[in-house]
Amino acid sequence: MKTTVDARGLACPEPVLRAKKAISANDEVTVIVDNETAVENIRRLADKSGCRFSVTEKEGGVREIVLVRTADAGHAPRGAGATEEEISCTAAPGKQAGSLVVVLSDNRMGRGDDTLGDILIRAFAHTLSQLKPLPATIVCYNAGVKLAVNDSAVLEDLQQLSKAGVDILVCGTCVNYFGLGDRIAVGRISNMYDILDTMAGAARLVRP
């Protein structure tokens, strides 16, 4: 079966949630979106659910995404009875049971003096890169996404963590809000669904 999901104008994470529901009940789904964040979120959904992915750019910034179920996705029951786990597209990559998740909700550490806050977040990021074992995931949202930009004072440490296998989730809504879409230099643009799922599944949460 084929179906079309028109997700234009919908805020994150609604486009990926609707695409996920549609592909669980159909062999081919066309998703119409109007922003790059939705494209990347649905691309990751395709990877995790074993679907072929293609995207075509249309006029006015519209993208037409096609998801096609493959043999790899055949193990997951289709329809309303399929669970989140069976569709296998809820767990954030790199997340493991008992994992440590670090949450960066600001580009400074603590409240009081901004200069001191800048010094502390640099020390925190560098110390984090030396931690054993490393965290499974780092979540950046609100002003924390500014730590992932190309001129961030902690970029080198975050890149080192990423190379070591730490999954860095950068809130797409926050990136768009601050106008940083072309400046993100580490991590992957994510959505509230993945962020909440990662935080809910963590054994320990650290928020400086």
- Predicted confidence (pLDDT) per residue in 42-75, tens digit: 998 898 888 999 999 988 889 999 999 886 655 4
Which CATH number goes with the domain that contains 197?
3.40.1260.10
Is the domain of 124 the same as that of 73? Answer: no
Average pLDDT over residues 99-120: 94
Is the domain of 82 the same as that of 120? Answer: no
Is the domain of 46 the same as that of 108? Answer: no
Is the domain of 127 the same as that of 166? Answer: yes
Is the domain of 17 the same as that of 54? Answer: yes
Cβ–Cβ < 8 Å for 46, 200: no
Is the domain of 123 the same as that of 202? Answer: yes
* DSSP helix/strand/coil, 128: helix
Which CATH number goes with the domain that contains 41?
3.30.110.40
Task: Determine the structural domain holding residue 170 and report its residue range.
Answer: 100-206
Nearest to 202 by CA among 57, 109, 99, 104: 99
Is the domain of 49 the same as that of 135? Answer: no
Is the domain of 130 the same as that of 43? Answer: no
Is the domain of 111 the same as that of 148? Answer: yes
Is the domain of 58 the same as that of 151? Answer: no
Cβ-proximal residues to 159 (8 Å cutoff; 6+ apart), any chain: 185, 186
Last residue of a domain, one of 34, 64, 87: 87
Q: How many domains does one find in the chain? A: 2
- What is the structure's pLDDT at 135? 94
0.95 cut: is pTM over it?
A: no
Amino acid at 47: D
Radius of gyration for the chain, computed over Cα atoms and rounded to the nearest angstrom: 18
Structure token digits, residue 159: 């890149």
- What is the structure's pLDDT at 13? 76
Is the domain of 116 the same as that of 199? Answer: yes
Is the domain of 112 the same as that of 179? Answer: yes
Q: Which comes out higher in pLDDT, residue 138 or 38?
A: 138
pLDDT per residue over 69-103, tens digit each?
886 655 443 333 333 332 222 333 444 445 899 99
